[in-house]
Amino acid sequence: MTVRFTVAGNAGPRLIGVAGRLTHEELAELWQLIGCEASGVCIDLSELRSLDPAALAALRRLRQEGVALQDIPPHLAWRIDDDFESE
């Protein structure tokens, strides 16, 4: 496994932590953790080290659906923000 997920706040707003390398192989688990209602979900990316193109596309999609992305590491923020702003 290249990534570790943590979840806090199951009863209210959920905070999902992502640590390590996020790849297409782990996206199904991330979607499952988010569930049907994306609003009220915040993804903490402070420990995200890298991501592949599929994971980048997923994070952009989640942001469009109202999921908050917080503490994006600077070495990844420009990729996520640049791609998000160009859509």
pLDDT band at 57 (very low <50, low <70, confident <90, very high): very high
The overall longest dimension of the chain from CA atoms, in Å, is: 35
Domain presence at residue 51: yes
Helix axes 53-64, 74-85, angle to 10 degrees: 60
Query: What's the Cα-to-Cα distance from 85 to each of 21, 37, 52, 59, rounded to whole Å?
Result: 23, 24, 19, 13
Domain presence at residue 66: yes
Q: Which of the two residues, 37 and 56, has the higher pLDDT score?
A: 56
pLDDT at 86 over 70: no
Domain coverage including residue 75: 3-9+22-85
Distance CA 6, CA 1 (A): 14
Task: Look at residue 7 in the predicted model and tell me its pLDDT.
Answer: 93
Domain presence at residue 14: no
Domain presence at residue 27: yes
pTM given for the model: 0.84
Domain presence at residue 30: yes
Domain presence at residue 17: no
| Residue-wise pLDDT tens digits, 13-50 | 789 999 999 999 999 999 999 987 777 899 999 999 99
Tally of structural domains, the chain: 1
Domain presence at residue 16: no
